[in-house]
Amino acid sequence: MVAFPTIAKSFGHHCRKNSKPYSTQLLSHLSSIFEISNSHQWQFQSTRTLLLQSASEAVKLRRLFDSDSGIIEVNLDRPEAKNAIGRDMLMGLQQSFEDISRDSSANVLMISSSVPKVFCAGADLKERKTMSPSEVEVFVNSLRSTFTFLEELQIPTIAVIEGTALGGGLEMALSCDLRICGEDAKMALPETGLAIIPGAGGTQRLPRLVGRSVAKELIFTGRKITGRDAISMGLVNYCVPAGEARLKALEIARDINQKGPMALRMAKRAIDKGVEIDMANALDLEEDCYQQLLHTKDRLEGLAAFAEKRKPKYIGE
């Protein structure tokens, strides 16, 4: 995984990063539902969801419980700015993704928004106006690295797009493995209208999804597309009725969550790395990934469950 560029030196007076990772060992011992004050690291919101402390109030990290244990959700919550990404939110995203990367019990990640009709409006342009060119460069480089870190998480990731996903918001979704949108979603990379280009991976990830010609048209014009447009060009995996994107994403996450955790990680590695190299080397990579699963307890459990006609109980070993 790539390392994040340090933005604390440039922006340390604006926000402070909480470097304490959450404890997966503690989580395994929490069996009752209780609520702890905001000064502590843990808060139970319901019998199914645990809210974990973030470096930013605009980014909520939640763990699902019971049969959904293994599903993690990053929730964007900055309604006053339509989830625009500023320094504070960027720090929150960085910490959340870092925490997830250290959590061996995490099997699948969903990124969603709690703001109605908005996924993410992109960069915070009001904040951007106060930055010097060098500060803008550092910020954009950090945003790009953050999305690369998201892309390289070992677990499957799903972007839940309801409403607007513009600029950096769409670039974040492009960094996920899967994208689910509501049919009233509006997506665009409008940066050329501001005399810049998409700088957090959009010029590279979009053409890899929809093809070079379509990507050029969308970036050159900054045209907004609907959810139905997005599904027709292969930008999203599913387009569902407005308001139902999270339900569909949760359905897919639950399906993924039932699979072997190590197999998911190896499948993602084989696909992501394999498409970047020639076929012969890609098949060697697939062989290596398969071999890493041969002597796992989960592989034996899968065979036993099949023979006994029951659901497997995978432990990630």
Catalytic residues, by residue number, are 123, 168, 171, 191
By CB atoms closer than 10 A (0-12, 13-18, 19+), residue 251 is: middle
Helix H, strand E, coil C: the string for 125-154 is: HHHHCCCCHHHHHHHHHHHHHHHHHHHCCC
3-class DSSP state of 164? strand
3-class DSSP state of 268? helix
Going by their DSSP bridges, the two strands 49-52 and 59-64 should be labelled as: antiparallel
Helices (H), the chain: 8-11, 24-29, 87-102, 125-128, 133-151, 168-174, 202-210, 212-221, 227-232, 245-257, 261-274, 279-291, 297-307
Alpha-carbon Rg for the chain, nearest whole angstrom, is: 20
- What would the two tokens of residue 183 be? 């049919």
Helix axes of 279-291 and 261-274: crossing angle, nearest 10 degrees? 170
Residues in CB range of 22: below 8 A, 6 or more apart: 41, 52, 53, 61, 99, 103
